[in-house]
Structure 1
Amino acid sequence: MNQHFVREKRIDITTLSNGLMVATERMPEIATATLGVWVGTGSRHEQPHEHGLSHLIEHMAFKGTSRRSARQIAEDIENVGGDINAATSVEYTSYTARVLGENVDVALDVLGDILIHSVFDAGELAREKGVILQEYAAVEDTPDDLIYDAFMETAFAGQAVGRPILGTPETIRSFDEATIRAFLAREYIPGKMVLAAAGDVDHARIVDMAERLFGTMPAAEARKPETGSYTGGERRLPRKLEQASLVLGLQGLSFKDPDYYATHLFAHMLGGGLTSRLWHEVRETRGLAYSIDSFHWPFSDCGLFGIGAGTAGSDVRELMEVTLACMVQATQDISEVELMRAKAQMKVALLTALETPGGRIERVARQLLSWGRLISSEEIVRKVDALDVDRVREAGRRLLQGTPTLAAIGPIKDLPSLESIALGLRG
């Protein structure tokens, strides 16, 4: 193992009395500071009538507080040259800012303000609902996006973990201030929050500010979301389009599963780069698709493996047959050369993500929320390096034993049945 894979900077961690964790990493070579608050709640923590609420709350965070208007929030950050953003995913919501090191106090004050003192003005709420409805319509008009929403909904039928993050027009229109505040009181609790910062930062100073801004939040017991249960199935959306968009999937693994890294490597060797099997056979040899890739999406208690591609309607049957053959073959003869290449690519991806303060604080926050501790690059690389071809092939075979999920949109009348696809996975 090369030394550059295990170098780690010092990360200081303090837990406030109410359970909120503060983690900082001093990077002397960096003149800016990137900081953010990660909340361990996302779309899967919503009740059916709350579908899309996490995403709306993320939008509303910038629309005014008891101390600042929406304009003042933007001005206070941009007057010091900074930027501010937020994001919602299945299991997390984040609010981040980047400023010069000398302006950390400004950024932290704004973040604390929008998280604790947002007012959810009725006029701003109505306007932001309109913005999100436009966002929803854009997805509906974009087959490449719509198909992945359909894929998740089918793989985890009837469950929050499978629902699209945006919500539906009906739920979006129904949200009011009372619904928002009830969700915040239940989900935005200190024990599910991490304040992380990296760059030109001082730990003691940030802890003091965190105590002032967040220390009065009452501690509360976290509510666990419904356990994700993979169902599989199919959703076909015949439409008059130039191209068919297809996603074929199988039950994946949680990032806490001992076979997670083996499964990740299998997915990468199958369709993760220009030397992958699917790319070579589908794109380069047969010209059946402009692009094809495989992925493995892990969550805290479940996961989803998939292959996505777009092709002409006349080629959907051949594309599916070739894809199934590649998947089965990979479980039988993945080579040592392929494995070593995938390991190297995984290490590069891991280290590249740590080359910016933003990447570093995101990893720290997610690890603390998911594991309650930090996992070093050394530990990850050691687990990856310990894998051999037999373990990765077995991980692939484990995947292919499951019930498939199929989502397809466009000219798909020639697409094989789900039953025949399931048989093809058995070789």
Structure 2
Amino acid sequence: MKRLLSRSRQLRRLSSSAAAVASPSPSPFPSSGPNAMVYDHLAESVKSKLGRLENPDPRFLTHNSPHPTLADHTSILTAPATKITTLPNGLRVATESQLASRTATVGVWIDAGSRFESEETNGTAHFLEHMIFKGTERRSARQLEEEIENMGGHLNAYTSREQTTYFAKVMDSHVNKALDILSDILQNSTFEESRINRERDVILREMEEVEGQTEEVIFDHLHATAFQYTPLGRTILGPAENIKTITKSHLQNYIATHYTAPRMVIAASGAVKHEEIVEQVKKYFTKLSTDPTSAAQLVAKETATFTGSEVRMIDDDIPLAQFSVAFNGVSYTDPDSIALMVMQSMLGSWNKHSGGGKHMGSELAQRVGINEIAESMMAFNTNYKDTGLFGVYAVAKPDCLDDLAWAIMHEISKLCYRVSEADVTRACNQLKSSLLLHVDGTSPVAEDIGRQLLTYGRRIPFAEFFARIDAVDANTVKRVANRIIYDRDVAIAAMGPVKKLPDYNWFRRRTYWNRY
């Protein structure tokens, strides 16, 4: 017992005198004898703990480390699986069950948009989105609205250049009714002439509102100049003269041609069971065309060719200038699409109202914030079936345009020859976090399922997506930048007091001058 008490006192003395352990002075404990090995082991253990406190592992203190490490997202491996069933007519049904949820989102994602229109029918897809809610053979427009309102649901739709979506968010007990409504409006809409004429004015007013959203206008002009004389260069809303002449036959022909079962995905997320959704889809979606023509086949007939060019709309009455500069990007399925997403994250975004500057990860944001040469800026990476746009959009005062253009082109072209692993790692972590934040809720998850099945043909698990992101390193970024940016044509769209914005040839030269 005395021996045990003696050792206990010695251990307390050891733990309360860590400085003595770390000191080069003689140890108070015996250096020989039966207990020497025990004391040496304890002393080394304490030294090791002190060393870890003084020099912590940077993986656990990434914010204090100049060399960030890849974030661990092991938990995503336990995410719910996406179940997919393809019906005999080619219609795909995909669900992700979250049975703990009390709500669900169910929708129809269609591989059709403004890109599949002719010059004469441009605007039909968006017009159809408006008319789809204006009454069916079974329900009037009022009955549709009341039915959705009475069950506390939200019915919505949107049209892009390559996709059209109709979806409803409802309580778990109303999923079947939502599917019934979606199938009804997509298969049995009546398109009354009086409703069509009334909707023309609504869309024309919407067009006026969009023209007031300068960012939307800039990107429409950017597409128009980058993809000249191709369907991808046209606007989603279409020109006013087309809106005034679109008829019932245009809408019906568009549905018959493009709203086909093989080009549609029924996606559901939340309080849903896959087998029940499949059975309900079989019951309701019985009138769809089975035309096997795919969107990719239609795109191949009119490939979007990138043209190095610019469009400038000078208006000195506007206080701020805005412009976007873009390179020919890549398609969704291109092997380098992930690297471009990382490069977009590296360039980042900045807004003077959100603060930040010299401590931001993006060197472009640092330059813009420290020198106060812009009101806002953001990098973008837009993908389509066969091409894309990669670049930067910025808003600034007229006197700052020259410095801002230099900063943007300097940082973009620098991706070709000087990239640090730390910057790439930081961008990869930011990209993974933004992807996870994007799918927070049943509606974003359903949208992610529908969009990926249309673009990739499958739902890519986050574990695979993140593995692809983690595979991007500094050499990958430089290789892709040399493919996309170095000595390549650019497309520029500018609006407002842009007289001091450097000319096109200056931007073109900056794609390779920084190397020297």
Q: State the TM-score, normalizing by the size of structure 2.
A: 0.80
1:295 maps to a residue whose letter is: F
Tell me the equivalent position of 2:197: 126
The counterpart of 2:397, out of the listed 312, 333, 349, is: 312
| Equivalent residues of 2:361, 2:426 under 8 A apart | no
Q: Does 1:385 align with 2:479?
A: no
CA distance in 2, matches of 1:48, 1:396: 34
Number of residue pairs the alignment of both structures matches: 426
1:215 to partner: Cα distance = 2.6
**Superposition map of 1:248-327 within 5 A:** 248-272=325-349, 274-282=360-368, 284-327=369-412
| Equivalent residues of 1:5, 1:381 under 8 A apart | no
CA distance in 1, matches of 2:455, 2:498: 40
2:321 maps to a residue whose letter is: A
CA distance in 1, matches of 2:415, 2:424: 11
The counterpart of 1:245, out of the listed 322, 325, 340, is: 322
**Superposition map of 1:364-379 within 5 A:** 364-379=449-464
Unaligned ranges ≥5, structure 2: 1-71, 351-359
| Equivalent residues of 1:279, 1:291 under 8 A apart | no
2:334 maps to a residue whose letter is: D
| Equivalent residues of 1:25, 1:199 under 8 A apart | yes
| Equivalent residues of 1:244, 1:412 under 8 A apart | yes
Q: Does 1:336 align with 2:421?
A: yes
211-220 or 103-112, larger mean C-alpha shift: 211-220
CA distance in 2, matches of 1:366, 1:343: 22
CA distance in 2, matches of 1:7, 1:164: 41
CA distance in 2, matches of 1:100, 1:222: 36
Q: Does 1:198 align with 2:277?
A: no
1:75 to partner: Cα distance = 1.0
1:404 maps to a residue whose letter is: V
CA distance in 1, matches of 2:349, 2:479: 19
Aligned to 2:78, what secondary structure does the other structure show?
Answer: coil
| Equivalent residues of 2:349, 2:379 under 8 A apart | yes
The list of structure 1 runs, each at least 4 consecutive aligned residues, that deviate by more than 4 angstroms after superposition, is none
Compare relative contact order (CA 8 Å, sep 6+) and give the higher one, 1 or 2. Answer: 1
| Equivalent residues of 1:30, 1:199 under 8 A apart | yes
380-389 or 143-152, larger mean C-alpha shift: 143-152
1:256 maps to a residue whose letter is: T
| Equivalent residues of 1:140, 1:146 under 8 A apart | yes
CA distance in 2, matches of 1:272, 1:332: 22
1:118 maps to a residue whose letter is: S
Aligned to 1:247, what secondary structure does the other structure show?
Answer: strand
Aligned to 1:416, what secondary structure does the other structure show?
Answer: coil
| Equivalent residues of 1:278, 1:293 under 8 A apart | no
1:50 to partner: Cα distance = 1.4
**Superposition map of 1:11-410 within 5 A:** 11-223=82-294, 224-225=298-299, 226-239=302-315, 240-272=317-349, 274-282=360-368, 284-401=369-486, 402-410=488-496
CA distance in 2, matches of 1:145, 1:151: 10
CA distance in 2, matches of 1:85, 1:299: 23
CA distance in 2, matches of 1:190, 1:248: 38
CA distance in 1, matches of 2:81, 2:338: 26
| Equivalent residues of 2:187, 2:287 under 8 A apart | no
| Equivalent residues of 2:132, 2:186 under 8 A apart | yes
CA distance in 2, matches of 1:172, 1:285: 47
1:336 maps to a residue whose letter is: E
1:47 maps to a residue whose letter is: S
| Equivalent residues of 1:60, 1:128 under 8 A apart | yes
CA distance in 2, matches of 1:387, 1:321: 27
CA distance in 2, matches of 1:326, 1:217: 50
CA distance in 2, matches of 1:314, 1:233: 24
Q: Deviations over 1:134-175 (max 9, x none)?
A: 111122233332111111111111111121111110111110
Aligned to 1:65, what secondary structure does the other structure show?
Answer: coil
Aligned to 2:326, what secondary structure does the other structure show?
Answer: strand
Q: State the TM-score, normalizing by the size of structure 1.
A: 0.96
Q: Deviations over 1:332-366 (max 9, x none)?
A: 22212211111111111121223311122112112
Aligned to 1:180, what secondary structure does the other structure show?
Answer: helix
CA distance in 1, matches of 2:349, 2:321: 21
Aligned to 1:333, what secondary structure does the other structure show?
Answer: coil
Taking only aligned residues, the RMSD between alpha carbons, in angstroms, comes to 1.5
2:306 maps to a residue whose letter is: Y
| Equivalent residues of 2:107, 2:168 under 8 A apart | yes
2:93 maps to a residue whose letter is: V
246-255 or 8-17, larger mean C-alpha shift: 8-17
CA distance in 2, matches of 1:329, 1:369: 34
Aligned to 1:166, what secondary structure does the other structure show?
Answer: coil
| Equivalent residues of 1:156, 1:232 under 8 A apart | no
CA distance in 1, matches of 2:451, 2:229: 26
Aligned to 1:161, what secondary structure does the other structure show?
Answer: helix
CA distance in 1, matches of 2:163, 2:452: 12
CA distance in 1, matches of 2:319, 2:289: 55
What is the identity percentage for the equivalent residue pairs of Structure 1 and Structure 2? 35
Aligned to 1:36, what secondary structure does the other structure show?
Answer: strand
CA distance in 2, matches of 1:148, 1:65: 35
2:461 maps to a residue whose letter is: S
Aligned to 1:343, what secondary structure does the other structure show?
Answer: helix
1:316 maps to a residue whose letter is: L
CA distance in 1, matches of 2:150, 2:325: 48
Unaligned ranges ≥5, structure 1: none
1:236 to partner: Cα distance = 0.6
1:252 to partner: Cα distance = 0.6
Aligned to 1:96, what secondary structure does the other structure show?
Answer: strand
CA distance in 2, matches of 1:9, 1:128: 41
1:259 maps to a residue whose letter is: D
1:374 to partner: Cα distance = 2.2
| Equivalent residues of 2:332, 2:456 under 8 A apart | no
CA distance in 2, matches of 1:119, 1:128: 14
1:426 maps to a residue whose letter is: Y
CA distance in 1, matches of 2:218, 2:80: 41
1:132 to partner: Cα distance = 1.1
CA distance in 2, matches of 1:366, 1:330: 30
